[in-house]
Amino acid sequence: MRINRKYMLTAIMLMLLAVAGCDRLKHWLGKENSNQSFVKEIPAGTDGNNNQVALLLPDFTQLVDQQGPAVVNIQATRDNRNIDGDSEVSSDALPDNDPFYEYFKYLLPKVPQTPQANDDEFNFGSGFIISKDGYILTNTHVVNGMNNIKVLLNDKREFQARLIGADIQSDVALLKISAGELPVVQPGNPKDLKVGEWVAAIGAPFGFDNSVTAGIVSAKGRSLPDENYTPFIQTDVAINPGNSGGPLFNLKGQVVGINSQIYSRSGGFMGISFAIPIDVAMNVAEQLKTTGKVQRGRLGVVIQEVNYNLAKSFGLDKANGALITQVVAGGPAAKAGLLIGDIVESVNGERLDNSSDLPVRVGLLQPGKQIILGIWRKGKKEEIKVVLDNMSPAITNPSTAASAVTTPTDGTNFTEQKLGLTLQATTKGLVIEEVSGLAAQVDLRRGDIIVAVGQKLVHDENDFEQAVAASGKSVPLLIRRASNTLFVALMLP
């Protein structure tokens, strides 16, 4: 057969291009970069100059192969309820007495039954192994109140687990099984996580063990109601009931968090989930392992967020830090000389972007430890050393400006027209009688008590007028509303 020379040359050129393409593909696949072993680059089209460009996309197959064996399924019951029963077959399966049961029972899907939401005697969740001798991390809410905890490994082995300790505040629990040479996860550093970075979760949503879901980091340092000591990692990874306690991995195959909570109106995945940073969890686990309890440092203050107007009223260039609104009498902050109106900007040199950062940083430290707080006070930066004590369940006997006002007054009324306030001087402070104009715009209310302007206590009309005049165009008012104390900034035109 004769071969046209023209076709032969074309074939040779195509072969050469293919070889060159393989080298390029090898580069795309990241073979030369061992630090991104779970990332692939694939062609994504052309740029404006008709040059080929690449787009980073994650490949989770190696991550699952390497880290999956260290992820466990947890089943917990109360009162020795049997969890080894016939729960593998769906409730829609054929009954035992059906004539076709014998023919079809081996074809029925082995789907785990999901307990009813009101079944408080059965919990299921996930966990992961942190030591070769059988220590396992999970969520407290998975095992809390249960007296029979079973751990199912990736290789189908089952173990009864012993609860070493559980911390309700952080929702971290430590289990122990009697086994050796187990696969373990590698902890990462949550501080290195970036918003938009790919992450993956492995767990048992609705009892379907070894399920893998992926997404990105949506935000860091989230504070949730009643969760003041955990800077949650927010993701859009699909997390559902049963994922609780399971690991959140970065693309290096390191655990960066424990999947703990979801935001949902339906009880299922809605694109907002929260993970406990692994450094917080490991700190709790170490304390549970060594002492059986968790201790957290306490500063002894009540704080609020610094918004733009408050920042201006206190002379700050940026809205950051934690504004102190109460100081607990006899606590570490009071002993160190911290004052109402101080803004804590850093702890041991680490900047506080939000007020929620302060309890997190302090809570990770042990009682008795000395820290250095960088504060903003009356237009100047200062550093104050504080020795922490042990966190108590509740704050009692707060030393506020209101409690310090003891000067008798005649109870006369006066009006500050430019602020829109009519006030009455009392022994507790200046009680707001009427609100209009600027005061109404910042939600000041009748019955609120003004106890200070900035860091200056005010007892009467003269005190108030002088303090307002000294504040300039931004007036920070410390008010008492019911049992709460907070600052409100009035911005004069």
pLDDT (0 to 100) of residue 47: 52
First to last CA, the chain: 94
pLDDT (0 to 100) of residue 15: 58
Dist CA 285 CA 293 (whole Å): 9
Tell me the average pLDDT across 395-419.
Answer: 57
pLDDT tens digits, one per residue of 326-358: 999 999 999 999 999 999 999 999 999 888 889
- Picking from 18-22, 279-283, 287-291, which range would have the lowest pLDDT averaged per residue? 18-22
Share of the chain above pLDDT 90, in %: 54
The dihedral built from the CA positions of residue 209, 214, 217 and 222, taken in this order, carries a sign that is negative
The first and second tokens of residue 273, run together, are 């989930």
> Among residues 188, 361, 354, which one has the least CA distance to residue 278?
188
Q: CA torsion 244→250→256→260, rounded to 10°?
A: -20
Number of Cα atoms under 13 Å in the Cβ half of residue 257: 32
What domains, with CATH codes, occur in the chain? 5-57 (no CATH), 58-81+121-294 (2.40.10.120), 297-399 (2.30.42.10), 401-491 (2.30.42.10)
> Among residues 401, 160, 189, 382, which one has the least CA distance to residue 277?
189
pLDDT (0 to 100) of residue 76: 92
Kindly indicate the confidence band of residue 192, based on its pLDDT and cuts at 50, 70 and 90: very high
Specify the higher pLDDT residue, 454 or 109: 454
User: Phi first, then psi: what are they for 380, rounded to 5°?
Assistant: -135, 150
Amino acid letter for position 464: F
pLDDT tens digits, one per residue of 37-92: 565 544 555 555 555 555 567 888 889 999 999 999 999 998 654 545 443 333 34
Judge whether residue 387 has pLDDT over 60.
yes
pLDDT (0 to 100) of residue 373: 97
pLDDT (0 to 100) of residue 103: 39
Judge whether residue 33 has pLDDT over 50.
no
Kindly indicate the confidence band of residue 412, based on its pLDDT and cuts at 50, 70 and 90: confident
pLDDT tens digits, one per residue of 266-287: 666 778 899 999 999 999 999 9
> Among residues 246, 136, 127, which one has the least CA distance to residue 182?
136
Kindly indicate the confidence band of residue 228, based on its pLDDT and cuts at 50, 70 and 90: low
Kindly indicate the confidence band of residue 263, based on its pLDDT and cuts at 50, 70 and 90: confident
Sequence-ordered strand ranges (E) for 436-483: 449-453, 456-457, 474-481
3-state SS, residue 25:
helix
The helix (run of H) or strand (run of E) holding residue 46 is strand 39-46
Dist CA 316 CA 379 (whole Å): 8
Tell me the average pLDDT across 187-207.
Answer: 93
Dist CA 297 CA 100 (whole Å): 65
341: left (phi over 0), alpha (psi -120 to 50) or beta: left
Tell me the average pLDDT across 402-421.
Answer: 66
pLDDT (0 to 100) of residue 400: 42
Judge whether residue 30 has pLDDT over 50.
no
Kindly indicate the confidence band of residue 407, based on its pLDDT and cuts at 50, 70 and 90: very low
Give 393's DSSP letter.
S
Q: Are 276 and 170 in contact (CB under 8 A)?
A: yes
If you average pLDDT over every residue of the chain, what do you get? 81
Dist CA 422 CA 243 (whole Å): 55
Dist CA 39 CA 253 (whole Å): 11
> Among residues 73, 251, 62, which one has the least CA distance to residue 149?
73
pLDDT (0 to 100) of residue 2: 47
259 pairs with which residues across the strands?
275
- Residues carrying an active site annotation: 141, 171, 244
Sequence-ordered strand ranges (E) for 134-285: 135-138, 148-152, 158-167, 172-176, 186-187, 198-203, 211-224, 227-235, 247-249, 254-262, 273-277
Tell me the average pLDDT across 417-443.
Answer: 90
pLDDT tens digits, one per residue of 364-375: 898 999 999 999
* Total number of residues shown for the chain: 493
Highest mean pLDDT among 25-39, 339-353, 411-425: 339-353
376 pairs with which residues across the strands?
343, 381
pLDDT (0 to 100) of residue 267: 65
Contacts of 426 (CB under 8 A, 6+ apart): 409, 411, 449
Q: Are 62 and 210 in contact (CB under 8 A)?
A: no
The helix (run of H) or strand (run of E) holding residue 489 is strand 484-491
Tell me the average pLDDT across 135-156.
Answer: 93
Sequence-ordered strand ranges (E) for 272-428: 273-277, 297-298, 301-305, 322-328, 343-347, 350-351, 370-377, 380-387, 389-390, 398-399, 413-416, 421-426
Kindly indicate the confidence band of residue 454, based on its pLDDT and cuts at 50, 70 and 90: very high
- Picking from 107-116, 142-151, 290-299, 410-419, which range would have the lowest pLDDT averaged per residue? 107-116
Judge whether residue 122 has pLDDT over 90.
no
Specify the higher pLDDT residue, 404 or 428: 428
- Picking from 101-105, 297-301, 350-354, which range would have the lowest pLDDT averaged per residue? 101-105
The first and second tokens of residue 78, run together, are 């109360």
Kindly indicate the confidence band of residue 5, based on its pLDDT and cuts at 50, 70 and 90: low
Contacts of 27 (CB under 8 A, 6+ apart): 41
pLDDT (0 to 100) of residue 411: 62
Number of Cα atoms under 13 Å in the Cβ half of residue 295: 12
